[in-house]
Amino acid sequence: MSAVIQLQHISKRFGGLVALNDVDFDLQEGECHALVGENGAGKSTLMRILAGIYTKDEGEYLLDGKVIDLQSPADALRRGIGMIHQELSVMPELSVAENVFLGRQLTNRFGAVDWRRMHQIAQAELGNLGFEDVDVRLPLGTYSLGIQQVVEVLRVILSGARVLIMDEPTSALSHSEVERLVQLVDTLRQSKRSIIYISHFLEEIMRVADRVTVLRDGKKVATLEKQATNVNHLISLMLGHEVNATLPPQIDSGAKTQTLLDVDRLSSDVFTDISFSVQAGEVVGIYGAVGAGHFDLARALFGMYRYDHGTITVEDRRFPRTFSSRYAITHGLAYATESRRKSLLAEEPIFRNITLPHLFRIGRLFPREKRELELSRPQIAAVGVHPDDPFNPVGRLSGGNQQKVAIARWLTFPPRVFIMSEPTRGMDVGAKSEVLSMLREFRNQGYGVVVVSAEPETIIAASDRVIVMSRGKITAQMANHQLNKDTLLRLL
Ligand SMILES: Nc1ncnc2c1ncn2[C@@H]1O[C@H](COP(=O)(O)OP(=O)(O)OP(=O)(O)O)[C@@H](O)[C@H]1O
Ligand SMILES: [Mg+2]
């Protein structure tokens, strides 16, 4: 094997913050090199330097043994280095083939767009990657997130990339889609392409990677052959200490008396006949694959998705058939959505993102900023946002720290029932266990919590009781002590 890329002594600062400090990293031909580390460790920053998005402050960047200086992402792509971002840049309304050739259509010898050839190539290339069942003439939006990601990978490959950077590629994928992505990485490796793979799912890392590099606080801690490490070892390197990421199962106290949320035969176009209740001091997990309808159910409980039949009752108040999110907030509900990028305002400071859902309570009179700061400071500390400057725009935080802000905003005026979709998505093991402890704390204080997730690990670690949904219906209910990952996956 030969080194395609070598980064030597890379440093990068943002103002006073040292994001990368003297980091070495190399990538061999045909290898999958994983990058792991806590939220804010510097993983995405290092990859953005590699892909020409950020410029390095110090250090050398060698491509095929020669020093280069990237000018832009387009420059990186011309040299064969492409990045698949977590927010996919595909166009769902356009066909699969159009997406594959986005920005560089093929023309025939008369200069006209050559659809036939683009269709043929796209279909054949998808087949090579193991996705012959995809029809390239259909709109990309008809396919799952997993397929959309494959199309993005193909687009980057056909633009000439031999190095592919994947930054948390699986964080929004279902279990079976993750399996296909893992296979895709294998296929790419066999065709001599090199992959850099960032993920917080360490078991996944142990499957896909040939080598793993661990970053901590902007410094490289180690680069290891996969055979020379294991999940627990990686965790201790990432954090500098051991951590218990899956908390021990709950002991059911039995005497649950007060019903905080009662959902009775709720139906919509995507879920049918959903009934369950949440008691004070209980965490109820709702588990299902992406597309099972549980995320829309969560939205419906918060007035953000239309339902046609059934009732929602919070404490003793029966909600009207249609209600606003503000109504839901006022009557004791909070909802942290699974798509934090949509719920956060990247340009706005942390404190404003925290007070945003509560501005109607604070009032619009000026000066309200002082009040907003007073309200948000304790929450920033409570969830451990890092760095903790309330004036920092949320878009500058690492992914995991953005998620902490999304949760912190609901602690200002604690709800009776907290509904959270994918509460730990994108979080490192340390932050995950912090959020799980927070859930436990809410529960011990007598709140009801609903955790909606497609990740078996999250459901098992968080819930007292689990409801399984499949294709819009409840298919099983059980107590946490009856659960393990295999059982859950088999119930899908
Ligand atoms: N454009 C920016 N401006 C200011 N600070 C930034 C910027 N981009 C990143 N940072 C800071 O650099 C540090 C490293 O961030 P980075 O996004 O690389 O972390 P990460 O390892 O990818 O974390 P995560 O797992 O949460 O995605 C963080 O402290 C972050 O706040
Ligand atoms: Mg990141």
Burial of 367 (0-12, 13-18, 19+ CB in 10 A): exposed
How many Å apart are CA 138 and CA 126, to the nearest integer? 14
Q: Is the peptide bond before 169 cis (omega within 30 degrees of 0)?
A: no
State whether the beta carbon of 19 lies less than 6 angstroms from ligand 1.
yes
How many Å apart are CA 102 and CA 100, to the nearest integer? 6
Decide if 463 contacts 283 (C-beta within 8 A): yes
Burial of 150 (0-12, 13-18, 19+ CB in 10 A): buried
Together in a domain, 215 and 282: no
Together in a domain, 185 and 322: no
Q: What is the CA radius of gyration of the chain?
A: 24
- The full length of the chain comes to 492
Of 182, 206, 239, which closes a domain? 239
Please spell the DSSP secondary structure of 472-487, one letter per residue. TEEEEEEEGGG--HHH
For residue 329, being part of any structural domain is answered with yes
Together in a domain, 163 and 270: no
Together in a domain, 181 and 222: yes
What is the distance in angstroms between the CA of the first residue and the CA of the last residue of the chain? Answer: 42
For residue 218, being part of any structural domain is answered with yes
SS3 30: coil
How many Å apart are CA 283 and CA 441, to the nearest integer? 11
The parent domain of residue 477 ranges over 259-491
Together in a domain, 50 and 127: yes
Q: Which atom of ligand 1 is nearest to the CA of 46?
A: 18
Of 204, 239, 274, which closes a domain? 239
- Separation of 398 CA from ligand 2 center, angstroms? 6
For residue 174, being part of any structural domain is answered with yes
pLDDT in tens, the chain (492 residues): 589 999 999 999 998 889 999 999 999 999 999 999 988 899 999 999 999 999 999 999 999 999 999 999 999 999 999 998 766 678 888 999 999 998 788 888 888 888 899 999 999 999 988 888 999 999 998 888 788 888 998 999 998 899 999 998 877 777 777 888 899 999 999 999 999 999 888 888 999 999 999 999 999 999 999 999 998 899 889 888 655 544 444 444 555 579 999 999 999 989 999 999 999 999 999 999 877 899 999 999 999 999 999 999 999 999 999 999 999 999 999 999 988 777 899 999 999 999 988 888 877 666 688 889 999 999 999 888 888 999 999 999 987 788 889 988 988 888 999 999 999 887 888 878 878 888 888 888 889 999 999 888 889 888 999 999 988 999 999 887 777 777 777 776
Together in a domain, 222 and 304: no
- Take atom 28 of ligand 1 and give the residue whose Cα is closest: 40
Q: Which CATH number do you get for residue 463?
A: 3.40.50.300
Decide if 414 contacts 260 (C-beta within 8 A): no
State whether the beta carbon of 42 lies less than 6 angstroms from ligand 1.
yes
pTM comes to 0.74
- Separation of 379 CA from ligand 2 center, angstroms? 22
Together in a domain, 85 and 202: yes
Distances (CA, A) of 182 to 66, 78, 221, 228: 31, 26, 26, 21
Number of domains in the chain: 2
For residue 439, being part of any structural domain is answered with yes
Q: Is the peptide bond before 249 cis (omega within 30 degrees of 0)?
A: no
State whether the beta carbon of 41 lies less than 6 angstroms from ligand 1.
yes
For residue 389, being part of any structural domain is answered with yes
